[in-house]
């Protein structure tokens, strides 16, 4: 399987999460490519699953991440699954609340998910939030490991739907 891990990042934390997800894909024997939403010309996107991440800034995604999600179809992504993630300061302690509920609506990932859904893309309802410890990062000590664990859970569900 091939995973495409796309990210925007201002200070580097979201990029680190993207790298952790890509590392997990490779550790489980898959291919992984990292794509910055700032890459120009726009890449042609090919793969079996995509992860897209943005820093949360004022409860939403960056402009570059927003434009990237809007361009997904033009870049060739149609029916394959998409998983959204973000980094944010205010991640709740409760692991269950990371992917749903009130907090899900406060991060960049849920906004990107809703945009992709409105475009008819096959995006997962659950989103992943990874915490940072200050306005400009860095990631929490466990952030990269949490991202890997989540990626692994997602991979385990592939092919079972
Ligand atoms: C201008 C600005 C606005 C932010 N707004 C939020 C926010 O609404 N909610 C939140 O939890 N964190 C917020 N943060 C913290 C960011 O989520 C943090 O900078 C980001 O996770 C770092 O990711 P990066 O290193 O990939 O840029 C904000 C940070 C900045 C600089």
| Span from the CA of 115 to the centroid of ligand 1 (angstroms) | 20
d(CA 108, CA 65): 9
Regarding pTM above 0.85, the answer is yes
Q: Give the C-alpha distances (Å, rounded to integers) separating 45 from 41, 79, 144, 146, 160.
A: 12, 12, 24, 26, 23
| Span from the CA of 146 to the centroid of ligand 1 (angstroms) | 18
| Span from the CA of 129 to the centroid of ligand 1 (angstroms) | 12
Tens digits of residue pLDDT in 51-91: 999 999 999 999 999 999 999 999 999 899 999 999 999 88
Q: 56 CB less than 6 Å from ligand 1?
A: yes
Q: 53 CB less than 6 Å from ligand 1?
A: no
Tens digits of residue pLDDT in 127-149: 999 999 999 999 999 999 999 99
Q: Whose CA is nearest to atom 5 of ligand 1?
A: 57
| Span from the CA of 25 to the centroid of ligand 1 (angstroms) | 26
| Span from the CA of 90 to the centroid of ligand 1 (angstroms) | 9
- The yes-or-no verdict on residue 94 having pLDDT over 90 is no
Domains for the chain: give ranges and CATH numbers: 2-157 (3.40.50.360)
- The yes-or-no verdict on residue 160 having pLDDT over 70 is no
Q: Which residues 6+ apart lie within 8 Å of 50 measured at CB?
A: 3, 4, 5, 6, 77, 80, 81, 82, 83
- By three-state DSSP, how is residue 31 classified? strand
Q: 12 CB less than 6 Å from ligand 1?
A: yes
Element (H, E) at 6: strand 2-7
Q: 89 CB less than 6 Å from ligand 1?
A: yes
d(CA 104, CA 116): 15
d(CA 106, CA 97): 12
DSSP per residue, 41-81 = SPPPP--SEEEEEEE-BTTB--HHHHHHHHTTTTTT--SS-
């Amino acid at each position: 399987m091939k995973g495409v891990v796309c990210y925007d990042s201002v200070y580097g934390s979201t990029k680190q999460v993207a790298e952790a997800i890509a590392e997990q894909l490779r550790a489980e024997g898959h291919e992984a490519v990292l794509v910055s939403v700032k890459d120009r010309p726009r890449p042609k996107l090919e793969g079996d699953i995509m992860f897209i991440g943005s820093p949360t800034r004022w409860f939403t995604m960056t402009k570059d991440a927003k434009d990237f999600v809007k361009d997904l179809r033009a870049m060739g992504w149609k029916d394959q699954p998409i998983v959204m993630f973000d980094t944010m300061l205010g991640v709740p302690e409760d692991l269950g609340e990371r992917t749903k509920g009130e907090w899900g609506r406060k991060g960049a990932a849920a906004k990107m998910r809703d945009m992709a859904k409105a475009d008819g893309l096959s995006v997962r309802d659950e989103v992943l939030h990874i915490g940072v410890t200050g306005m400009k990062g860095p990631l929490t000590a466990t952030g990269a490991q949490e991202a890997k664990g989540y990626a692994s859970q997602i991979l385990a569900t592939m092919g079972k739907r």
